[in-house]
Amino acid sequence: MRFDVVTLFPGMFAAVTDHGITRRARELGLWQLATWNPRDFTSDRHRTVDDRPFGGGPGMVLMAEPLAAAVEAAHTAQRTAGYANGRVVALSAGGRPLTDARVRAWAQEGGATVLVCGRYEGIDQRFLEACVDEEVSIGDFVLSGGEIAAMAVIDAVVRHLPGALKIESAADESFATGLLDAPHFTRPDVWRGCAVPSALLSGNHAQIERWRREQALARTARERPDLIAAARAGGLLDERDERFLRGIAQGAGGANPPAVLNPSSAAATTAAEAA
């Protein structure tokens, strides 16, 4: 798999090449990165990449020609590396929101992609229409440019490449269950007076799995009720889950729902009791 990133700030991409899972996967040859700076595809003395918007308004707009020339250079490099011309995806605040399904499909397809990072107020629309296949956003909040969004795409896609993860993380399946993860605990079993929930220390696998399921249901109902509705629609909840959810709804009348997820109250164990 290969990403060619068109960016005014190529140095930012050290975040994905030099750290963690994405670094290791790149060292294993699972993916390649090249960056293309539109400033290197200008022809004026000042290497101008932006200009004032026609019609007026605040800020500056990225000019079409340096971006188009950078994309063409990226496509040439992709062909030289044995890939077909990759899809051109612009990271822009107005794009279609990225989803888990889209990320998985991206990893499955493999191949090459050109990621174009916006900066300033935006990108000349004629470049978007002539050269870009798809505009993608990573959520409804304002970033300063497309680079961090492009790195989020790279990170999310690369971790799905076969061999990228040392262990298939249960966290990765949180979208497969349609629910948020249950909380995690490690040593010590009592930390600053807060005990680990006793179910996790029981050694009873069925009890542990049920506890985790209920924690996931409670956390999802509280933080992401939209996901509960989707899981229900997708047939991912059984009658036992539904009974548990009804139980939460009973007790949760008010602005402050009970702290089902707070391990200190759930376990109700003090340091003195544990000792």
Site size for ligand 9D3 (CB under 6 A): 15
Residue 38 binds ligand 9D3, judged by CB under 6 A: no
Cα separation, 189 vs 226, in Å, equals 34
Q: Smallest distance, Å, CB 141 to ligand 9D3? A: 6
C-beta closer to ligand 9D3: residue 97 or 251? 97
- In the range 95-124, which residues lie near ligand 9D3 by CB under 6 A? 118, 121-122
Amino acid at 65: E
Q: Smallest distance, Å, CB 24 to ligand 9D3? A: 26
- Max CA distance (Å), the chain: 75
Q: Smallest distance, Å, CB 263 to ligand 9D3? A: 34
Stretch that binds ligand 9D3, among 86-94, 184-192, 230-238, 242-250 (CB under 6 A): 86-94
Q: Smallest distance, Å, CB 61 to ligand 9D3? A: 10
C-beta closer to ligand 9D3: residue 34 or 143? 143
Residue 91 binds ligand 9D3, judged by CB under 6 A: yes
Q: Smallest distance, Å, CB 7 to ligand 9D3? A: 11
Spell out the long-range contacts of 208-212 with Cβ–Cβ below 8 A and sequence spacing 24 or more: 211/182, 212/182
User: Is the C-alpha dihedral spanning 264, 270, 271, 273 positive or negative?
Assistant: negative
Q: Cα 51 to chain center, whole Å?
A: 32
Residue 53 binds ligand 9D3, judged by CB under 6 A: no
Cα separation, 178 vs 225, in Å, equals 11
Residue 138 binds ligand 9D3, judged by CB under 6 A: yes
Spell out the long-range contacts of 193-202 with Cβ–Cβ below 8 A and sequence spacing 24 or more: 193/264, 193/270, 193/271, 194/263, 194/264, 194/267, 195/263, 195/264, 195/267, 195/269, 195/270, 195/271, 195/273, 195/274, 196/263, 196/267, 197/263, 197/266, 197/267, 198/267, 198/269
Cα separation, 49 vs 37, in Å, equals 10
Cα R_g (the chain), whole angstroms: 24
Stretch that binds ligand 9D3, among 44-52, 87-95, 162-170, 191-199 (CB under 6 A): 87-95
Cβ-contact 161, 155 below 8 angstroms = no
Residue 142 binds ligand 9D3, judged by CB under 6 A: yes
Helix or strand (DSSP H, E) at 251: helix 239-251
DSSP code of 173?
G
Q: Smallest distance, Å, CB 233 to ligand 9D3? A: 27
Contact pattern from residue 248 through residue 267 relative to ligand 9D3, giving x for each residue in contact according to CB under 6 A and a dash for the rest: --------------------
- Rule CB under 6 A: choose which of 145, 178, 197, 263 binds ligand 9D3: 145
Stretch that binds ligand 9D3, among 77-85, 99-107, 138-146, 191-199 (CB under 6 A): 138-146
Positions in the binding site for ligand 9D3 (CB under 6 A): 91-93, 118, 121-122, 137-139, 141-143, 145-146, 149
